Amino acid sequence: MSRGLHEIASGTLFGVALNYQGLLQQRLAEFDQAPYTQPPIKPVLFIKTPNTRNVHQGEVVYPTGVERLQPGPALGVVIGKDASRVSQAQALSHVAGYTIVNEFSLPEDSYYRPAVKAKCRDGFCALGPALVPVDAIADPHQLTLTLYVNNERVQENTTANFVRGIAQLIAELSEFMTLHAGDVLITGTPEGRVDVRPGDRVDVEITGLGRLTNTIVAE
């Protein structure tokens, strides 16, 4: 591919919270309480701002004065052509390919209101190592995500456990906003987030997409 991942995937980074069945089940009790009264009926979105962009083998800064930092392994869906009010049947034709995302965050109190201060620190969204074309992945809903810290496997799940599949996400989001070519849909991080510290090496591996590596450094 003549153009690199970060040249193609240069648009807005849209994150989806609570998109793994296990994570949603863990949080259901909260949604019975005020102010929610019921689980979310539409995707819970957040945005990773441009300053969060990071790369394969990039350093992630552990901010001074915070108690915990958590990696967030996720499948990234790169939009290949603008999508506005598309149906689920049409949705995947708007996808250029897939990549690995590690969506770093400070621990959050509320999934309904992801905090900018927790999500949007410099370098808190690593993408890579490459863009894998759609036709190279037989089924994006049968991929294993594995998180390693210092080569120890600490978190594993599968995209078969999505609450909403990729086509449904694209259809629901494009109902109210146009997804532009180059935008990246971060399809969610599974339950079981772990803490990392300065000096740690953090790897995310996804079936068929390779391995994304980052190092945590003190501020």
CATH assignment at residue 197: 3.90.850.10
Range of the domain at 103: 5-218
**Residue 9 confidence class, pLDDT cut points 50, 70, 90:** very high
For 35, residues 6+ apart whose C-beta sits below 8 A from its C-beta are none
What does the mean pLDDT of the chain come to? 92
**Residue 1 confidence class, pLDDT cut points 50, 70, 90:** very low
Q: Rounded to an integer, what distance in angstroms lies between the CA atom of residue 179 and that of residue 78?
A: 10
pTM value > 0.95: no
Give me the number of domains the chain comprises.
1
Query: What is the pLDDT, as a whole number, of residue 28?
Result: 72
Given a cut of 80, is residue 29 above it in pLDDT? no
Task: Return the structure tokens found at 209.
Answer: 């997409």
DSSP class of 178:
P
Best CA proximity match to 95, nearest among 176, 27, 175, 9? 9
Mean pLDDT for the stretch of residues 185-210:
97
Does residue 102 contact residue 202 with C-beta atoms inside 8 Å? yes
Signed CA dihedral, 153, 157, 159, 163: sign only: negative
Best CA proximity match to 118, nearest among 165, 68, 189, 75? 68
Given a cut of 80, is residue 52 above it in pLDDT? yes
Q: Rounded to an integer, what distance in angstroms lies between the CA atom of residue 118 and that of residue 69?
A: 9
Given a cut of 80, is residue 190 above it in pLDDT? yes
pLDDT tens-place string over residues 121-170? 999 999 999 999 999 999 999 999 999 999 999 999 999 999 999 999 99
Mean pLDDT for the stretch of residues 10-23:
94
Q: In what order do the strands lie in the sheet with 210-218?
A: 59-62, 210-218, 201-206, 144-149, 152-158
pLDDT tens-place string over residues 53-68? 999 999 999 999 999 9
